[in-house]
Structure 1
Amino acid sequence: MAVIGRPDVPEGAHRRLVDALHEVYLRAGAPGVRTIAQRGGVSRDTAHRVLTNPALPTWPALEAVVAALGGDIGRFRALWVAARQPDAVVAEPPAEPVAGAGPSVRVLIVEDHPLYRQALVQAVGAFGHVVVGTAANGEDAVSLALETRPEVILMDHFLPGLLGIDATARIRSADPAIRVLIISAGATGELTLAALRSGAHGVLSKDVEADGIDRAIRAVARGEVHVPAGAAAPPEVAEPREAGEQELKPRERRVLQLVAEGYTDVQIAERLAVSVRTVRSYLDRVRDKTGERRRAGLVRVALESGLVRPRPGGATPDASSG
């Protein structure tokens, strides 16, 4: 049976997709269109069109063919998203990921500066994460996030048109499972509070090292809140809580402070020499008094009250609970 030739497309993201698909096709033994169609649950015409048509296929058709050929769905999703954006850059995980990096996270990168966007893509890919796409403005970020459903979004704050925190609010309202890290050159207390209020899981400073980006992504993917060092609430926002809210007792305030500093329930118990059950009892009281159920909301409360004293690097590397 004759081997199906790859279509002729210009250099760029689409060409990388075509080359990767042809490589997977050959590795699978160059099966016939009928076989691919049967394995993928599509028509022979669809299977043939995906492999030979120079036009970019629809994602459902491409996904079916890739699955039939035994390809990496996540990798091809990232390549396909990049091919739909002429200026996008996609970095595939290296053959040998960074030692001990842990499981990969699906990440969407939103940054309007091309060079920094490319640097983020390369840094994120170097730690084994999958970049599902890139966007250069807030409106595209919202549409692409709801299309690709990443686990974590690295979202620049100062975007043209729709600001990063406004795009975050839209995304989190539509899909609360998507977690967002706001990126900014100045991770101030005001921005951190605004980010948390928009639904983000924290703020990442642009001067952080590559491994700091990786740690922040993994922490946020686990549901932790990433508060950079030096982001304590400034005097103008560190005001008392509303009069209608109950005052926290000293031990409750201490537990809230440790939560905001990134400690897990188990770590808090160790520091205070109490049981984990006792810590969670304190947290239940704090939640009842503040009306905040989410951990990110508790961090915001701590910032607003001036309790938090973030440790260098933000959240701890251990998974949070509660």
Structure 2
Amino acid sequence: MDVAENVASGLLLSVLLGLARWVSAWWRWRRNTPRISLDLLESLMGKPLPKPDPVELRGGAHRQLNDLLHKLHSRANYPSPFAIARVLGVSRTTLHDAMSKPKLPSKDVAVRLALAYGSQIRWGAKADPDDELDSIDRRVSELWETAHQEAVLPDPEHVKHVVREVWDDMTSGRGPYPPDHPVAEALARSTISISAFERFVFAIVDTRDRDDRITLGCRAEGSFYIDLWKKDLTEEVRHRLAPVRISVFSVDLTEDVEFTIADGLIGGYVPPASPPDPA
């Protein structure tokens, strides 16, 4: 019995020692094995990419281009950014910036990214994938070209020239108001001064006749403040300048102006001196 007990005790001790060595080896392996982060796991599974800040990315062709890229990404069932970046031969940062930053990506990246998404879309049975990709190519190229032109700062002299053209049309009856309309007649008896700086345009309309000031909506004269002619002037100027964009276009009567910007400087408006009364 002593021999049997010794053998059994030895076998049990061997099993316990082996189990302890296995547990120790497993723990060292688990501790040294790299973990997959939650962000990496989510990116491998595919998810919507964040959009640019809407305040920084204002309306225009650039926003339409960004919306189209996100729409294609959604229709392609959110392919992995890692896989798309590898296919395009660009970094994941470049892809992320094209989708999520307000800066306009290069045309090559925008077109190739859109086509990569388009190639992953399951088109309907009646659709020709090649025709769909050609349509995507043309649309992205057109939006990029327009967005690129919108990003160019306008020439101040050209802006002033366009504003003057629209003003002349409105005062001569070639605009939204016929020649005998009270607004057209009041504007024809007024003068306009224009300041342009980068994307800021300020127009000051100087009206001397009190009835004209009332017609044009001068609050200082107690008139009912309706200034649709300002909106008409602004919209027509923006239309003629397109695709070049103007951020701020302010049109004011002299009595309504609190400050004006000319040559990049801000200062109070000083009306021109009235001529002396004849003796």
The verdict on a shared fold, with TM-score over 0.5 as the criterion, is: no
Structure number with greater Rg is 2
More helix by share: 2
> How high is the TM-score relative to the length of structure 2?
0.30
